[in-house]
Structure 1
Amino acid sequence: MTELLTKTRPARTGWPEWIGYTAAAWSLLYGALGLYWTLGGAGFPFGVGDGELMAEPAFAFKVSLLGLATPEVAGPVIAGLGALGAVAGVLMARGFRAGAAQWLLPAYAWIVAVGLTVVVQDYRTLIVVAYTPVMVIGKLFFGWPEGVGWGVLYRTERLNLLVLLLMGIVWGLTAVAYRRKLNGACGSCGRGEVERQSALQRWARPATWTAFAIPLVYSVTRWAWALGFSLGIDPAFYAEGQEDGLWLAGAALATLGGIGAVLTLGLIQRWGEVFPRWMIGLRGKRVPPMLAVVPATLVSVLVASAGGMYIRVVVGRGGVTAETWPLELPETLWVVWGAALFVAAMAYHQRRRGLCKACGRGESK
């Protein structure tokens, strides 16, 4: 009898079981904030309530598509979408599939996911994530930057964007989990009864090399500035950046980008699957797939959202000039970088799945 129960009990699949409920809970909570802002509550973080954007109101819409939002208009929209999301999240978590729900629910989830991770974002989310390690290292070992506290980096508006980005990722995972339910695939690994060759593997190498090359374009310009080469930008602006340490900060960020570019190659190299010999204590051991997949996916979303903002800025200014290309052109390529890195990360994840403990499909690696 015990053996029979073991065979018939559905396997636990981890995150696909609860991700829809998480999306629903977050949507309900944020919808409640939308209602609060509609009724005159303080802390509206978009548009007129965004202190950073309102420092230059004429530039606000170029930076953010919500740069002109007001609580009277945006509040009810947020409240309505929050309520709708709460219902959709629960239905998807429960595998509801009647009628048009089979395509309406995942379509809604993906629209919300893209909207929260790319459309409403700007460069500030990337600033928070990228400059956190730079400031940690600078303050611990060099006492730099002087007079700049953590409150300057962790502004409420920026943290709000980071929360929205994480919510968007949750909605994307909710859509994936729901599609697996509909297809009868394993909720944990996504495999079905018949394993089909994925197009991801065909694009893995070109996507990885693209994701390697693009951040180096950005890094080269920032290293050049730190080394004293202005690359044709306005001399007064360049001199000001030298005085306040802006180019040194840019070089530090460029160094992280360069390291990240090299690590990206691990998505298609042997050392991305087995730790190399020079890593004492780890050499020869299997690299945990999520150690590469999670940061690569997060970076892909961050750079794509920031790249979308830079494209808006460049278009709004009438294009790139000889004086502005080092400032703006490398960042306009970030949308391609983000897309390529996401494809490369998903191909790596698919290739490294191994034997699934939930359904028993796949091969042990």
Structure 2
Amino acid sequence: MTTPPPTAADPAAAPPRWAVHAAHVAAVTALPAGLWRLGLVTGWHGGYTDAGYHAVGFTGWDAVWPVTLSVLTEALALLTLGLVRPWGTVPPRWIPFLGGRPVNPRAVVIAASLGAAGLVLLWTPFLAWWATPHPNMTPLGHLLVGFLYLPAVAWGPLLAAVTVSYHRRHRTADARS
């Protein structure tokens, strides 16, 4: 699928194919961990021992946090697509306060850059997961969780790359205006 050429309403150049692919990959990096958390809420032990699962407690009000975290994380990951889609330049009219008006590309770049830096700081230490034993998990469960959270490590660098592409396209569009 190709991106339509820029229009008079959106003078920014079309994003390069690599940026579109990177944005789509970034949008799903949080999905495996989110699905794992949702599975825990439904009663699946997800690699925890019986005692560990019950100690953590994923029932009642304790289930609200994992569900909220999963939905919020995926929603934030999906925002990466705005850096390569027209709604990242002019949000749809149905969005309160922003709809139908062009966004400030500088504000988008700053927010996305801060997000990318935060994600790198948050997820890079996760690479040490396999070196740290988790007494509430089975060895296979520990390995499973490691692989389910591993894609999140790529989210920050992917967001940074797509943000650079967005910045270059909009800087070029500003120069043409």
TM-score normalised by structure 2 residue count: 0.74
- Distance, in Å, in 2 between the alignment partners of 1:253 and 1:294 is 24
Corresponding residue number in structure 2 for 1:351:
169
1-side partners of 2:150 and 2:16: how far apart?
Answer: 27
Give matches, 1:8-23, under 5 Å. Answer: none
Alignment correspondent of 1:54: none
Structure-to-structure mapping, 1:147-166, within 5 angstroms:
none
Number of residue pairs matched by the alignment: 157
Which of 137, 156, 159 is equivalent to 1:338?
156
Task: Work out the CA distance in 2 between the residues paired with 1:253 and 1:310.
Answer: 17
1:284 positional shift:
1.9
Provide the rounded CA distance (Å) in 1 between the counterparts of 2:18 and 2:43: 39
What residue identity is the alignment partner of 1:312? A
**Which residue type is aligned with residue 27 of structure 2?**
F
Structure 1, unmatched stretches of 5+, are 1-199, 356-361
d(CA) in 2 for partners of 1:255, 1:281: 23
Query: Superposition RMSD on alpha carbons, in Å?
Result: 2.6
Q: What do residues 273-322 of structure 1 show as CA deviations (whole Å, max 9, x unaligned)?
A: 111021245332102223432232222222223332111231455xx942
Residue in 1 that maps onto 2:28: 213
- Deviation per CA, 1:330-353, whole angstroms, max 9, x where unpaired? 333333221111101111121122
Q: Deviations over 1:106-138 (max 9, x none)?
A: xxxxxxxxxxxxxxxxxxxxxxxxxxxxxxxxx
CA contact (8 A) 1:203 1:343 kept: no
Seq. identity, %: 26
Q: Is the 8 A contact 1:222 1:247 kept in 2?
A: no
Contact kept, 8 Å, 1:208 with 1:267, in 2: the verdict is yes
Counterpart position of 1:233: 48
Describe the shift of the 1:280–1:323 C-alpha distance in structure 2 as closer, same or farther (beyond 3 A): closer
Q: What corresponds to 2:110 in structure 1?
A: 294
Higher relative contact order (CA 8 A, sep 6+): 2
C-alpha spacing 1:225/1:316, structure 2 compared with 1 (3 Å)? closer
Give structure 1 regions of 4+ aligned residues with deviation exceeding 4 angstroms: 243-247
Question: How many angstroms apart in 2 are the aligned matches of 1:213 and 1:264?
Answer: 10
Whole-angstrom distance in 2 between the partners of 1:210 and 1:351: 20
Q: Which residue of 1 aligns with 2:176?
A: 363
**Alpha carbons of 1:214 and 1:291: their partners in 2 closer, same or farther (altered >3 Å)?**
same
**TM-score, normalised via structure 1 length:** 0.39
> 2:130–2:143: 8 Å Cα contact kept in structure 1?
no
Per the alignment, residue 252 of structure 1 pairs with 68
Write the distance in 1 (CA, Å) between the matches of 2:28 and 2:98.
Answer: 28
SS of 1:284's equivalent in the other structure is: coil
